[in-house]
């Protein structure tokens, strides 16, 4: 790496981690999350070698076109990279890095939290506790449904999908999956592959989305209608994969019995009708939000910048 390469971060970073970055780079550190335009203005001023960004900062082709020629690498502190136009970046010779692997377990754990929270009506019970739990539920009041033994269909059997499957097996859940390509036998294990999503949906007592975003709406009205009545829908992947109006209709009709969602079409400022529905359990996109995981993500992203600026190709380079 050239002596004292420089980077601009679009996100605030805790002091102990900042020290580690400052040991490597000249570093422009904000005290709040910056908007894309603000980062571009800073880049114009400081001519950095790299940008360290986060999910909340869209970097489209028009933004890439406005970056100074000094920028050789953009690292996002997320595994998802649908907020970055990778092709446009690569066309300008900018390498993009992300944070695969290190968030797999935390995200799969959150996925199970969503599943359990939705199945067991946790929202209503939390509200009850918030209201100081004044009256005891009747024996047949506030009931959820079992998770144990239900059949789970997973769309997207990458690292996170497989980690969800591992956890679901602990709940004795038979696993079905739909994926662009069938897994090798050792990765597939006892899971049953469906080449056509439409053929899998009628068997999914639990439907689990674990695929990357950026490929349009997957769960349409027609596809929700194929689920068995009362299915539980869990999405910790991307809100852009779901027609939220169709989901609301399915939650009202009972086609979807409950939904656990960590991701939304609009973030923040999501469609609060989803929270008005009694049969949802919602979290504000916290899939990877643990101290250990976020630290590992930051280190991986920074490591990617360092490697690229040193002329290497780290394993976390995003390829189109
Ligand atoms: C979270 O959604 C991520 O892509 O890291």
Identify whether the C-beta of residue 188 lies closer than 8 Å to the C-beta of residue 164: no
List the one residue out of 163, 169, 155, 179 whose CA is nearest residue 287. 163
Atom number in ligand 1 closest to CA 98:
5
Atom number in ligand 1 closest to CA 297:
5
Minimal-distance CA residue to ligand 1 atom 3: 78
Residue 302 has pLDDT above 60, yes or no: yes
Residue 1 has pLDDT above 90, yes or no: no
Please indicate whether residue 80, judged by its CB atom, sits closer than 6 Å to ligand 1. yes
Residue 41 has pLDDT above 80, yes or no: yes
Pairing mode, strands 206-209 and 192-193: unpaired
Minimal-distance CA residue to ligand 1 atom 5: 78
Atom number in ligand 1 closest to CA 238:
2
Distance in Å, CA 298 to ligand 1 centroid: 12
- pTM value is 0.97
Please indicate whether residue 78, judged by its CB atom, sits closer than 6 Å to ligand 1. yes
What burial letters (b/e) apply to 133-151, b meaning 16+ CB within 10 Å?
eeeeeeeeeeebeebeebb
Distance in Å, CA 66 to ligand 1 centroid: 25
Distance in Å, CA 142 to ligand 1 centroid: 33
Atom number in ligand 1 closest to CA 77:
5
Look over the chain and give the mean of its residue pLDDT values, rounded to a whole number: 97
pLDDT confidence band for 320 (50 / 70 / 90): confident
pLDDT confidence band for 165 (50 / 70 / 90): very high
Minimal-distance CA residue to ligand 1 atom 1: 78
Q: Which residues are catalytic?
A: 238, 267, 285
Distance in Å, CA 80 to ligand 1 centroid: 5
Please indicate whether residue 239, judged by its CB atom, sits closer than 6 Å to ligand 1. no
Distance in Å, CA 315 to ligand 1 centroid: 17
Lowest mean pLDDT: which of 28-32, 97-101, 239-243, 268-272? 28-32
% of the chain with per-residue pLDDT over 90: 97
Residue 13 has pLDDT above 60, yes or no: yes
Question: 3-state SS of 61-83?
Answer: HHHHHHCCCCCCEEEECCCCCCC
The pLDDT score that the predictor gives to residue 3 is 67
Q: SS3 of 226, please?
A: coil
What's the mean pLDDT in 118-145?
A: 97
CB atoms closer than 10 angstroms to residue 96: 27
Residue 293 has pLDDT above 60, yes or no: yes
pLDDT in tens, 131-142: 999 999 999 999
Distance in Å, CA 141 to ligand 1 centroid: 36
pLDDT in tens, 248-275: 999 999 999 999 999 999 999 999 999 9
List the one residue out of 1, 10, 19, 8 whose CA is nearest residue 295. 19
Minimal-distance CA residue to ligand 1 atom 2: 80
Domains and CATH numbers, the chain: 5-102+291-309 (3.40.50.720), 104-282 (3.40.50.720)
Atom number in ligand 1 closest to CA 263:
2
Q: Position of tokens 């009205």?
A: 221
């Amino acid at each position: 790496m050239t002596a004292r390469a420089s980077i601009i971060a679009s996100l605030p970073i805790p002091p102990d981690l900042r020290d580690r970055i400052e040991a490597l780079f000249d570093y422009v550190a904000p005290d709040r999350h910056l908007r894309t335009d603000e980062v571009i203005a800073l880049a114009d001023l400081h001519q950095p070698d790299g940008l360290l960004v986060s999910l909340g900062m869209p970097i489209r082709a028009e933004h890439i076109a406005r970056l100074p020629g000094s920028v050789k690498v953009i690292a996002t502190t997320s595994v998802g990279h649908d907020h970055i136009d990778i092709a446009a970046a690569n066309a300008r010779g900018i390498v993009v890095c992300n944070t695969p692997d290190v968030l797999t377990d935390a995200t799969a754990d959150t996925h199970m939290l969503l599943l359990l929270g939705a199945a067991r009506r946790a929202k209503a019970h939390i509200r009850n506790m918030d209201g100081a739990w004044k009256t005891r539920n009747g024996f047949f009041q506030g009931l959820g449904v079992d998770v144990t033994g239900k059949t789970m269909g997973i769309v997207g059997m990458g690292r996170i999908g497989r980690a969800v499957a591992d956890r679901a097996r602990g709940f004795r859940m038979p696993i079905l999956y739909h994926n662009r390509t069938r897994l090798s036998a050792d990765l597939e294990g006892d899971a049953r592959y469906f080449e056509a999503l439409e053929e899998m949906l009628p068997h999914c007592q639990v439907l689990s989305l674990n695929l990357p975003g950026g490929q349009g709406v997957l769960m349409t009205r027609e596809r929700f209608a194929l689920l068995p009545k009362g299915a539980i829908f869990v999405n910790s992947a991307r809100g852009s994969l779901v027609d939220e109006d169709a989901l609301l209709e399915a939650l009202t009709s009972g086609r979807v019995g409950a939904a656990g969602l960590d991701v939304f079409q609009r973030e923040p400022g999501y469609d609060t009708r989803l929270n008005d529905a009694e049969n949802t359990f919602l979290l504000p996109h916290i899939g990877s939000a643990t101290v250990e995981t976020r630290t590992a993500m930051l280190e991986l992203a920074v490591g990617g910048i360092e490697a690229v600026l040193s002329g290497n190709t780290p394993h976390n380079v995003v390829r189109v």
